[in-house]
Structure formats: C-alpha cells, structure tokens
Amino acid sequence: MSQNRYQEDRESLKELLQQYRNLKLGRQHRFLEEDAFLRIIDYFDEKDNVKEALEAVEIGLSQFPYASALMVKKADLLIVDKRYLEAIDILETSELYDNSDIDLYILKTDAYLALDQPEKAAALLEAAIQKFEGDEKVDLLFELADVYDDYESFEKVFDCLVLILEQEPANEEALYKICFWTDYTGRNEESIKLHQKIIDQLPYSELAWFNLAAAYQGLKLYEKSIDAYQYAVAIDDKFDYAYRNMGDALIRLRRYKEALEALERVTELTKPEDVIFEAMGFCYERLKQPAQARSHYRKAVHLRPEDSRLHYKIATTYHTEGQWERAIRQLDAAMKLFPSQPDYNRLAGECHTRLGQWQQAIDHLAIVVKARPKTAASWDALIQCLFAAGAHTEAEVQARHAWLATGEKPVFLFYQSAACFASGQTMNGLRLLEQAMEAAPKQLKRFMEVFPEALQHPALVDLLARFKRRRSF
C-alpha cells in the first residue's frame, strides 16, 4: 500500500469513528452503513477493546437486525469474552438468515470445544462440509481434523487429511501433517497408495516423495524408502529431513558409510543437533573407528550434557582402545547423573578389573547383580573378581546366591566348590564339585580358571580320576 493510500485510509477511519461517536451521543441522525459498522468493530477488536466492540455490534444490529455478518462478529466477540452459550445462540440465529458463511461454522466449533463438547463440534463440521466446495471445504476439513485430534480420534484425523489431499494434492500443510499421522496411526499402506497417486500428478513434489519414503520406512522397506528419499533430495537438495531419515534407513541396513554421507549433509544444512552427532558416532563405532566415534559423541554431549548415555558411549570408545582410566572418568560422569544404571556399573567394573583395582570393581559389579539378579554374566563377573581379590569366603557366599537366582546354573556350583577349597573347606569343596561334575562336566574349566591350584589337592585329583573312570564305562 502506498503512503498516500495508507494516509487516506487513516483519515477515512478517523472520520468514520467520529461519525460513530456522534451517533452514540445522539448528534447524528443518519444511519451508518453495515460495512461501516464492521470496520468500526474490527478497529476496536484489534485494540483488544472487547467491550467497545460489543457495544458497536449492538448499535449495528439495532439498525440492521437481520445482518448475518454482524451476528457472526458478535459471536466472535462473545467467544473472546468466554460467553459461549450466548455465542451459539446468536450463530444459530445468523444461520437462519445466511448459512453460507464459513466463519459461522468455525466459530460455533470453537464454542463447542470451549464447552468441552467435541462430539457436537465434529457433528457440526461433518454436516457443514457437505455444503461447501473448494477452499472452504478444505478449511473445514482442517478444522474437523483438529477437532478429532482434540478428542483423540486419531484415525479420523488421518481420514480428513486424505480427503484434503484428494482435493488438493499439492496442499503443503496437509502433506506435512499426514506424514506424522501416518507414522502415528501405522496406516503406511494407505499412505503409500495415496502418495503414489499424488506423484503421478505431481512428479516433482518433494513432500510427496518424502511421505512415500517415510511410509516405506514405517513398513521397514528400507531399500524402497532410500530410493524415494533420493528422489526427494534430487528435487530439493536442501531437504534436510530427507537426508536425516535416509541416514536412519541406511543405518538399519548397516550401510554405515553411506549413512555418514547423508548425516554429514544434515550438518551442512541445519544447526548442530545432538541426535545427528550421536547417530554419526554410532556409525563410526560400527566401522571400528573409535576415535571418530568419540569425536562425534563429544559433539553430542556438548549439546546435551545431562544425557548420561552419551558419557557412557564415549567410555565404550575408550574401552575399545584399552584406555581403561579414561573410560572410567567418562563412566564416573555418567554415574554422577545415573548412579545405579547397570550397564555403566558393569563397564566400570570391567575397567577397574583390568587395572587390578579389585575393590572398586567389586563395588560396581555388586550394583549390577542387584539390578539384574537373573543375569548369569553379571554374577560371573562379580565372582571372578572376588577370586582375583582373594575374597574366597565372599566368593562362596555370592556363588551360592547366584546359583539360586539364576535357576541353579551348574557353573556356580563349580565356583562354590573352588571357593571352599581355597578357604580350606575341603569336604564341602569335594561335595559341591562332585555335584557340579554330574550336572555339567564340560564346565570344569571354569573351576580351573578361578582355582588353578586345584591339582595340588590329592583328594581333588582322586575325585577327578574316579569321575573320569566312571564316565568311561
């Protein structure tokens, strides 16, 4: 708008407002036009002066009692003023005079929703949709989708979006929304058919290709999804979400180098994101490049420092390289945020074991077995650590607990036996060893690993010889 036009409009509005004030004061006897009242009402509404706007509406309706447009304005203001029942009444009156105003139905919907009557709102819109075509029908379908969303009828949200796209295949808002609702409702097959039709009409619609790819991805058809994403980025080479999702699909197929290329493109197009750096770290880890993985995990943790998992992932890269002390420092950071997490404590226990720091290792592994009492590997690590520390009595106690907790796995009988021998309980050791040999003779090596001095015990050697002779018959 030119400066002159703007100035003329201001002067015109100023004059109109003066005429309105004169009318209110009884200084003017001629009527204002209906459009003039609508303009005045809009002026007060824009100033957030609901009281003045409502007063102007009432004066307007006193001069134009059958003006549907003024009734709709009044309803809008009543809704702003939270007078919902009054708004519905005036809208029903307005509908008698003119039922072609789409705002009438939208405002009535708003009132029903404010009164927590979503079913009435939905029924109103379902009926209204039948009266309109084109853009107005699409607008009402969007309204109806929002209503269904409000009272969690999510399948119907998807249906509304389908109807919109059947009318307007290029509608960007619907294309954006249906991608989410496809994933949420799991209606991937329908989405594929819909977007294939859209692509037949609009082959250069990057959003349609993206949605097609996402639907394939939802069905775990990763090869097809990647092909569709590639079409999307060929149309728009700055489509960061297409690269992002393509990276995920490539990871699912274990094509880590290609995934890195896609994710690197995301970093070029958008601001740094922790999830992207984390995914890149994962790829490098799978490619056995721990230093590169660690670099990207560090970038992620810089953006998300309170995520203990990222500190743990950095620790795993140090563990892979045999850098036990550095791994422990990262694990300490992780456990400061989540002290009892079993995986963190398990890895910390292993690192301390590697360094011969037995008590620290035992402390961490004890937390693991408390969290995962049925996991044999956790007990195994703890008991072996106790043997290494020379804590044979405690090893025997924990082996007994482990045997019961894991459903009487024979390996823990071997450990109980070894602990008994090591602490001088020869008779108990022999009894438990014989029981263990009967259950799982091939696991004798586990006994020998924790108690290599076994062959120095004549009674034990004799037992093994007798067992071997018995088994040979």
pLDDT tens sequence across 36-65: 888 888 888 888 888 888 888 888 888 898
What is the C-alpha separation between 142 and 100, in angstroms, rounded?
A: 18
Confidence check: pLDDT of 71 > 70: yes
Asked whether residue 314 is domain-assigned, the answer is no
Spell out the residues 6+ positions from residue 168 whose beta carbon is closer than 8 angstroms to its own.
138, 174
Confidence check: pLDDT of 13 > 90: no
How high is the mean pLDDT of the chain? Answer: 92
Q: Residue 473: pLDDT band by 50, 70, 90 thresholds?
A: very low
Question: What local confidence, expressed as pLDDT, does residue 325 receive?
Answer: 98
Confidence check: pLDDT of 8 > 70: no
Question: What local confidence, expressed as pLDDT, does residue 123 receive?
Answer: 94
Confidence check: pLDDT of 31 > 80: no
Gyration radius (Cα) of the chain, Å: 37
Could you say which of 235, 267, 292 is where a domain stops?
235
Give the chain's domain count: 2
Question: What local confidence, expressed as pLDDT, does residue 167 receive?
Answer: 94
Question: What local confidence, expressed as pLDDT, does residue 469 receive?
Answer: 72
Question: What local confidence, expressed as pLDDT, does residue 6 receive?
Answer: 55
What is the C-alpha separation between 175 and 164, in angstroms, rounded?
A: 9
Confidence check: pLDDT of 472 > 70: no
pLDDT tens profile 222-270: 999 999 999 999 999 999 999 999 999 999 999 999 999 999 999 999 9
Q: Say which residue the tokens 């409702």 belong to.
A: 185
Question: What local confidence, expressed as pLDDT, does residue 1 receive?
Answer: 47
For residue 200, report the phi and psi dihedrals to the nearest 5 degrees. Answer: -60, -35
CA 417, 445, 465: angle at the middle one, nearest 5?
75
Question: What local confidence, expressed as pLDDT, does residue 7 receive?
Answer: 64
Domain range for 182 is 153-235
CA atoms within 13 A on the CB side of 239: 22
Asked whether residue 304 is domain-assigned, the answer is no
Question: What local confidence, expressed as pLDDT, does residue 368 receive?
Answer: 97
Asked whether residue 313 is domain-assigned, the answer is no
Question: What local confidence, expressed as pLDDT, does residue 28 receive?
Answer: 60
Asked whether residue 160 is domain-assigned, the answer is yes
439 by Cβ neighbours in 10 Å (0-12 / 13-18 / 19+) ranks as middle
Between 395 and 452, whose confidence is greater?
395
Asked whether residue 171 is domain-assigned, the answer is yes
Asked whether residue 412 is domain-assigned, the answer is yes
Q: Residue 27: pLDDT band by 50, 70, 90 thresholds?
A: low
**Tokens describing residue 369:** 């077995």
Asked whether residue 181 is domain-assigned, the answer is yes
Could you say which of 220, 235, 250 is where a domain stops?
235
Could you say which of 212, 235, 258 is where a domain stops?
235
Confidence check: pLDDT of 88 > 90: yes
Q: For residues 294 and 314, is the Cβ–Cβ distance under 8 A?
A: yes
Question: What local confidence, expressed as pLDDT, does residue 322 receive?
Answer: 97
What's the whole-model pTM score? 0.82
| Lowest mean per-residue pLDDT among 14-18, 363-367, 443-447 | 14-18
Question: What local confidence, expressed as pLDDT, does residue 327 receive?
Answer: 98
Asked whether residue 224 is domain-assigned, the answer is yes
The residue-averaged pLDDT of 302-319 equals 97
